[in-house]
Amino acid sequence: MSAETNLSNKDIKETRNKLLDDAVLNDEHGAASARGFLDRLFAFMFRGFVYPQIWEDPEIDLEAMKITPDSRIMTIASGGCNVMNYLTENPGAVKAVDLNPAHVALTRLKITALKHLPDYESFFLFFGHADEKRNIKNYEEYIKPHLDPFSRKYWESWSLLDGKRINYFTKNLYQFGLLGRTISFVHIVAKIYGKDPREILKATSLEEQKEVFDRTLGPIFEKKAVKWLCNMPVSLYGLGIPPSQFDELHKAGGGDMANLLRSRLERLACDFPIQDNYFAWQAFGQGYDIENKRAIPRYLTEENYNKLKENAGKVEVYHSSLTAFLEAQREESLDCYVFLDAQDWMNKAQLNDLWEQVLRTARPGARVVFRTAGEESPLNKALPSDLLGKWSYDPAYSKKMVARDRSSIYGGFHVYTLGNVEALKVVA
3-state DSSP assignment of residue 335: strand
The amino acid sitting at 321 is S
The rounded percent of the chain whose pLDDT value lies above 70 is 83
| Per-residue pLDDT tens over the stretch 77-93 | 999 999 999 999 999 99
CA 222 to chain centroid, in Å, comes to 29
Question: C-alpha angle 43/44/48, rounded to 5°?
Answer: 100
Q: Buried b vs exposed e over 137-168: b needs ≥16 C-beta within 10 Å?
A: ebbeebbbeebbebbbebbeeeeeeeeebbbb
| Per-residue pLDDT tens over the stretch 194-239 | 999 999 999 999 999 999 999 999 999 999 999 998 887 766 666 6
Is the per-residue pLDDT at 320 higher than 90? yes
Q: Are 358 and 93 in contact (CB under 8 A)?
A: no
The amino acid sitting at 11 is D
The amino acid sitting at 387 is L
User: How many Cβ atoms sit within 10 Å of the Cβ of residue 215?
Assistant: 12
Q: Enumerate domains of the chain plus CATH numbers.
A: 3-45 (no CATH), 58-175+297-418 (3.40.50.150), 192-285 (no CATH)
User: How many Cβ atoms sit within 10 Å of the Cβ of residue 292?
Assistant: 10
The pLDDT confidence band at residue 44, using thresholds 50, 70 and 90, is: low
Q: Provide φ and ψ at 55, rounded to 5°.
A: -115, 45
pLDDT of res. 189? 92
Q: Report the alpha-carbon distance of residue 223 to residue 298 in Å, rounded.
A: 37
Region 303-317: mean pLDDT is 97
The pLDDT confidence band at residue 385, using thresholds 50, 70 and 90, is: very high
pTM here is: 0.87
β-bridge mates for residue 315, sequence order: 94
pLDDT of res. 358? 98
| Per-residue pLDDT tens over the stretch 362-373 | 999 999 999 998
Which of 105-119, 141-155, 249-263, 392-406 is predicted with the least confidence, judged by mean pLDDT? 249-263
Q: Are 199 and 217 in contact (CB under 8 A)?
A: no
Is the per-residue pLDDT at 31 higher than 90? no
Is the per-residue pLDDT at 24 higher than 60? no
Is the per-residue pLDDT at 32 higher than 80? no
Q: Are 315 and 94 in contact (CB under 8 A)?
A: yes
Q: Give the residue, 184 or 41, on which the prediction is more confident.
A: 184
The pLDDT confidence band at residue 2, using thresholds 50, 70 and 90, is: very low
β-bridge mates for residue 368, sequence order: 337, 416
pLDDT of res. 276? 95
Q: Could you give the count of Cα atoms lying within 13 Å of 375 in the half-sphere of its Cβ?
A: 12
